[in-house]
Amino acid sequence: MVLARIFPAEATTDPSSLLEGIKKTLPPEIKINDYAEEPIAFGLKALKVQFLMPEDYEGGTTIIEDLVSKVNEISQVEILMVSRI
């Protein structure tokens, strides 16, 4: 399980549109288990997303950062925690 905080490029970006963009970039082996909006400041809301992926997945958490960063509306991806379920 990988927990990531994902920041939108603009404060006006809809978090649900971010989530849809993220889902489209993920390979079948990586799934979104849960997510929540997190208020940051001045109307900016980040997404905290819990990803499930195989433990031995090549590239580790870097693959999540790289794939999610490709979504145009995302400015930054921060890995908060990695653990086994």
CATH of the domain at 59: 3.30.70.60
Average pLDDT, the chain: 91
Position 70 scores a pLDDT of 92
**Which has more pLDDT, 6 or 15?**
6
Confidence band of 41 (pLDDT split at 50, 70, 90): confident
Q: State the total domains in the chain.
A: 1
Domain assignment of residue 57, given as a range: 2-82
Position 16 scores a pLDDT of 87
Element containing residue 35 per DSSP (H, E): strand 31-41
pLDDT above 90: percentage of residues in the chain? 67
Backbone torsions φ then ψ of 43, nearest 5 degrees: 85, -5
